[in-house]
Structure formats: C-alpha cells, structure tokens
Amino acid sequence: MEKIVADMHIHTKYSFDSSLKIKHILAKMEDLGAKYIALTDHVEFKNQPVNEVIRRITVRNQKIDELQKGTDITIIKGIEVSEPHLYPAGMEALANVEDIDYIIGSIHHICDASMKKMAEFTDAVTLYLESMLSMVTSSDIDTLAHLDYIKKYLTEFNPDPELIESILREIIKRNIALEINTSGMRRAGEYFPGEGILDMYKDFGGKHITYGSDAHKIDELGDNIAKAHEELKPYDFEEGIILKRGFKKL
C-alpha cells in the first residue's frame, strides 16, 4: 500500500454526494500513513440556503473536534465552495464560522447549468474558464480546485491559452495554491490540471500546490497521490497543505 503525507480534498457524509463517515476516513488514512487530511465538504449556495450551509458545517466541525482527540492525524476543517464569486453574502456568512481552516474554490455550474449539461454548449470551455477567472480574481479562497475539470465531459479540451494564463497569473499574484486533483486519473485519464497547464504554471513562477483525491468513496481516499508526487518532482513545486488559512510547506 502506497504511503502519503496529506490528502487535501475529501468529501464526507456532510456532502450531498458522499456517504463517507469521518471515522472510516480516519481508519483508511491511518493505514496510508497520512499526517494531514482536509475534509472539504461541498458548499453550493445555488442549492442550499446560507443558514442551512452554516448549520451543516458547524455540526460537522463539532464531530471533527470529537474525533480529533482519538487520532494523530491532523484533521483540517475545509469546504469546497462552488462559484463563490456569485454569492458574496454567503461567503461573508462563512467568514463568521471561526473554525474553517481551508477554502477550496471550484466551478461546477455555469449559467445555472450543471457541468455535464454545460459541456454541450459550443462555447463551454470559454464560459467555464471566464467564470473561473472571475472567481480567482475576487473570491477569498485558498486553493483553486481541478482547473480543467470540464474535460471530464468533453472529447476535446482546447482552451484559450490567454485565459489559462490569466487564471494562473492571478492565483500566483493572490497566493492561491493550485490543486493537483488526482481524481482526474480515474475520471479523464490525467490529473486535473494536465501537463500543459502545469508547464505554464511553472513557467509563470507558480510554486504552491496541494494534492487532493477528491474522494467520495472509501477506495478513492489517497488515490494516485503518491504516484503524482513522484511524477511531478521535476517541476520542483512547493508541496503543502493549507492550515488555518495559510500555506504550510510539507
């Protein structure tokens, strides 16, 4: 069994699309030798009122506090917010939840359409990346999740390189880490983002990366992280975690 240090993108039963219990996550991650895990449950203001989001995350965080006492793994209280730039009031409310350690920003919907539906549009990639640029320019996030996730639904992914450049330069300027989302290997045959984007990130001076399996099932925990760590060594990125809203190099 391959050992890993950290998995910074895990969904629990407090996400709408996962049934994983935190205690089962801990047992598996202990077997993998992990020192850090980030539980990054979905926050989708599009589909859930702000007060319900706060209640759900607060209950989850109380459960984390209970389980933290019985493990040597540091459990990071994270969230994955979809389109945070579209919901400033919701983000302001989240800022009042004092024990959120980590915020991932992601794009899952565009023009009120799901990613799968959106991928049918002729200009899907441009709309997706324009929304992402708006997000990284204006949102209070720590990490940009699965940058080219839309390629999961496309036969070809041909983005405007200027849009990709703008996104990468913005996250570098704002100290937003780039996530290496290893679920891309099981969903699209390569990491999110792929090699071409990683080359650009390196060329523009990008350094900070996190690794996340984006696990929703027990057998997805830590998936391909050790492999990615080895394959990305030539880039000489600074691999780390986000703890208390700050980047910590591993």
For the chain, which domains are there? 6-249 (3.20.20.140)
Helices (H), the chain: 22-31, 50-68, 88-94, 115-118, 124-138, 161-173, 184-187, 195-203, 225-231
Alpha carbon distance 16, 80 (integer Å): 12
What is the percentage of the chain residues whose pLDDT exceeds 70? 100
The per-residue pLDDT for range 40-50, each reduced to its tens digit, is 999 999 999 99
Average pLDDT, integer, range 141-163: 94
The per-residue pLDDT for range 49-65, each reduced to its tens digit, is 999 999 999 999 999 99
DSSP assignments along 86-152, one per residue: G-HHHHHHHTT-TT--EEEEE--EETTEEHHHHTTSTTHHHHHHHHHHHHHHH---SEE--TTGGGG
pTM to 2 decimals? 0.97
pLDDT (0 to 100) of residue 169: 98
pLDDT of 1 > 80? The answer is no
CA distances from 20 to 28, 31, 78, 220 (A): 11, 16, 15, 11
Alpha carbon distance 18, 179 (integer Å): 20
Average pLDDT, integer, range 74-95: 96
pLDDT of 213 > 90? The answer is yes
